Amino acid sequence: MPGAFEFYINMDDVIEATEILNGAADQIPFALSQTLNHAADVTRKALIADTWPSHVKVRNTQFIKYALRYDEATKTKMSVTIYDSLNKSVKLKLHAEGGVRTARGRFAIPNEQYIQKGAHGIKPEDEPRALLNSVIIGNGIFQRVGKALQLMYVLAPTVKVPKDVPFYEDFAKNMTKAIDSYFPKAMAKAMKTRKTSGGGNGGGGGSQGG
C-alpha cells in the first residue's frame, strides 16, 4: 500500500507475555487484535498532533487528519497499517524517506541570494508569476534590474526532497509503547469474559469468549 507504515507482531513475544499474565492461549487472537487497534488509534493521533506539525509548516490543519487512516487488525490478521489515504499532492512517503519529486512541467527553485523564505514561505510578491520585469531564459527565471539580469529561480524537472518527518521512527515508538501498556488490560478483559464449559467430575475445557 503506497505511503503506508506497517506493524507486525512477534508471536513468540506475545506467547511469553501471555504466560507471564497467566492468560490462555486461545484468548491471544482477541486480546492482540484489540491491542493492535488501540495502539494504531493512539499512534495515528500522535502522528497528527505531534509528528507532522513539529517538522513541517502546517498551512492546512485538516490535511494530515484526513490523509492518515488505518486498517484494523482482526483475530486472523495480526497486523495494522496506517496509510496515506489521499496519496496525492503531498507525498508523505517522501517526507518519511526522502527522495526525488518529479514535476508535471518544471519546478521553480528559488535562488536564496534574492528570494528569502519567511515563516509562511515565499512572500507573495516574490512568487515567480508576481515578479516584475521578469523573463525566462533557458532553465532560469531572471528579473531585470537596470541593465542587468538577476537569476531569481532555477527551473528543473525534478527536485530532491530531504527526509524531514520521522514518521517511521515515531510510528514504531508509539506503537510499541501503546502495545506494552495495553496488552495486559486486553488479556485481562479477554480472560474475564472467557466462556468455560465442563461436565461430570472431570476438568472443564475452555472456549474463546472474545
Given a contact cutoff of 8 angstroms between Cβ atoms, the answer to whether 143 and 130 are in contact is no
Q: Which amino acid is at 108?
A: A
Given a contact cutoff of 8 angstroms between Cβ atoms, the answer to whether 1 and 81 are in contact is yes
Read off the pTM.
0.72
Q: Please spell the DSSP secondary structure of 133-176, one letter per residue.
A: TEEEETTEEEEEETTEEEEEEEEEEEEEE-----HHHHHHHHHH
Can you tell me whether residue 85 is helix, strand or coil?
A: coil
Cell of 76: 486472523
Quick one: pLDDT band at residue 195, thresholds 50, 70, 90? low
* Rounded Cα distance, 105 and 157, in Å: 6
* Rounded Cα distance, 28 and 12, in Å: 12
pLDDT at residue 119, as a whole number: 65
Q: What is the DSSP letter of 21?
A: T
Among 57-66, 76-85, 149-158, top mean pLDDT goes to: 149-158
* Rounded Cα distance, 154 and 150, in Å: 11
pLDDT at residue 185, as a whole number: 92
Which of 48, 40, 46 is CA-nearest to residue 74?
Answer: 40
Report how far apart, in Å, the C-alpha atoms of 76 and of each of 9, 21, 37, 60, 181 are: 13, 22, 13, 38, 22
Q: Which residues contact 127 (CB under 8 A, 6 or more apart)?
A: none
For residue 80, pLDDT over 60 is answered with: yes
Given a contact cutoff of 8 angstroms between Cβ atoms, the answer to whether 176 and 10 are in contact is no
**Mean pLDDT of the 34-62 span:** 94
Domain boundaries, the chain: 4-96+162-198, 101-160
Which of 181, 177, 176, 185 is CA-nearest to residue 31?
Answer: 185
Quick one: pLDDT band at residue 196, thresholds 50, 70, 90? low
pLDDT at residue 20, as a whole number: 79
**Lowest mean pLDDT across 42-46, 51-55, 91-95:** 91-95
* Rounded Cα distance, 2 and 14, in Å: 29
Query: When comparing pLDDT for 126 and 203, which is higher?
Result: 126
Give me the residues paired with residue 148 across strands: 145
